[in-house]
């Protein structure tokens, strides 16, 4: 697996990330197989969040890791905090950030996190409090690198005014079917389609300009977790285009859908969500595929977009 350069971030990060949102459904033995499979494929980057299974994902991961020969220091462990479904708030207060990291480390049974991301903007966020929280976590050696998720460029600018640690990552939704991150660059100023709407303040170009690595979440899903578009009869054109390229490159359609994201020159990471080792092996084949310019556009247009 090729690695990616996260500017001033953790070194040697794999292009694919093992996303653990769905790990609570596994036994610790099956979770251990997922970890071993990921590592055998060169996937060394792991994504968690406090809200995945209400903390169960981190617990299961720790139980599973203990069953493997994989060493903690050979992995880049990332978690996110700030979503509190239990009390229906998003919370980026200093106390919640600091307490969340203590909870994460306890559940993961680890001394430090490689990366902490703030999960979804808290409408009441105070950047000065966040700066204090990050300083405290860094000084205590509990977090090595920081970033955000689902965060607008101007929100990042406001954070940067107070937070001294560079924000190195923004985790954002992107799939062939959910490609708003990319669409607005094509249809700008076009009244005939709402795909021209600027929904995220140019997050893609902001991240590129500021050397912030984008991590694409739900790379195979349509809508918000509405299921896969791959092999879904509701998406015949995407599947036809995926099939043709899968045959050409001798990989699965899922690998082509991942290769479509990896082909973007922003050099994004892709967070996979499968909890099936065979599916992960198939997706990892994307690492050897480099789509041509024309193929990338062919897939994009097959997903229902058009050239203005």
Ligand X SMILES: NC(=O)c1ccc[n+]([C@@H]2O[C@H](COP(=O)([O-])OP(=O)(O)OC[C@H]3O[C@@H](n4cnc5c(N)ncnc54)[C@H](OP(=O)(O)O)[C@@H]3O)[C@@H](O)[C@H]2O)c1
Point out which residues pair with 273 in neighbouring strands: none
Residue 219 makes contact with ligand X by CB under 6 A = yes
Q: Which of 75, 113, 220, 245 binds ligand X (CB under 6 A)?
A: 220
How many residues of this chain bind ligand X (CB under 6 A)?
24
Cα gap 291→140, rounded to integer Å: 44
Q: How far is the CB of 23 from ligand X (least distance, A)?
A: 8
SS3 169: strand
Residue 13 makes contact with ligand X by CB under 6 A = no
Residue 171 makes contact with ligand X by CB under 6 A = yes
Q: Rg (Cα) of the chain, in Å, rounded?
A: 19
Q: Which of 96, 195, 273, 285 binds ligand X (CB under 6 A)?
A: 273
Q: Which of 4, 6, 20, 108 binds ligand X (CB under 6 A)?
A: 20
Residue 255 makes contact with ligand X by CB under 6 A = no
Q: Which of 44, 179, 184, 254 binds ligand X (CB under 6 A)?
A: 254
Residue 275 makes contact with ligand X by CB under 6 A = yes
Contact range with ligand X by CB under 6 A, out of 66-74, 214-222, 238-246, 288-296: 214-222
Q: Which of 28, 279, 298, 305 binds ligand X (CB under 6 A)?
A: 279
Q: Which of 90, 38, 91 is nearest to 61 (CA)?
A: 38
Count CA atoms closer than 13 A to 58's CA, side-chain side: 24
SS3 257: helix
Q: Which of 47, 91, 177, 285 binds ligand X (CB under 6 A)?
A: 47
177 versus 295: smaller Cβ distance to ligand X:
177
Count CA atoms closer than 13 A to 308's CA, side-chain side: 14
Q: What is the DSSP string of 76-129?
A: EEEEEE-EEGGGTEE---HHHHHHHHHHHHHHHT-S-EEEEEE-S--TT--HHH
User: Which residues of this protein are in contact with ligand X, per CB under 6 A?
Assistant: 19-22, 47, 149-150, 171, 217-221, 225, 228, 254, 271-276, 279, 283
């Amino acid at each position: 697996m090729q690695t990616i350069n996260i500017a001033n971030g953790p070194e040697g990060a794999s292009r694919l990330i093992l996303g653990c949102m769905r790990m609570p459904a596994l036994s610790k033995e099956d979770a251990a197989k997922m970890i071993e499979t990921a590592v055998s494929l060169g996937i060394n980057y792991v994504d968690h969040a406090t809200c995945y299974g209400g903390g169960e994902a981190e617990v299961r991961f720790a139980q599973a890791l203990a069953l493997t020969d994989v060493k903690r220091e050979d992995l880049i462990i990332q978690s996110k905090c700030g979503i509190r479904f239990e009390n229906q708030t998003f919370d980026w207060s200093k106390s919640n950030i600091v307490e969340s990291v203590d909870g994460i480390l306890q559940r993961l049974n680890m001394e430090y996190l490689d990366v902490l991301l703030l999960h979804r903007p808290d409408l009441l966020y105070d950047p000065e409090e966040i700066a204090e929280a990050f300083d405290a976590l860094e000084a205590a050696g509990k977090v090595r690198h920081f970033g955000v998720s689902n965060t607008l460029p101007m929100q990042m600018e406001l954070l940067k005014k107070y937070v001294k640690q560079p924000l190195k990552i923004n985790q954002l939704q992107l799939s062939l079917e959910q490609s708003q991150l990319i669409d607005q660059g094509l249809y700008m100023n076009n009244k005939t389609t709402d795909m021209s709407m600027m929904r995220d303040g140019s997050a893609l170009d902001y991240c590129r300009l500021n050397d912030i690595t984008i991590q694409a979440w739900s790379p195979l899903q349509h809508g918000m977790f509405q299921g896969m578009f791959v092999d879904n009869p509701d998406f015949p054109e995407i599947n036809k285009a995926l099939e043709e390229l899968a045959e050409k490159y001798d990989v699965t359609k899922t690998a082509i859908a991942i290769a479509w994201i990896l082909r973007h020159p922003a050099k994004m990471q892709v967070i996979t969500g499968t909890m099936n080792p065979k599916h992960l092996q198939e997706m990892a084949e994307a690492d050897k595929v480099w789509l041509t310019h024309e193929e990338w556009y062919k897939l994009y247009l097959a997903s229902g977009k058009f050239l203005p």
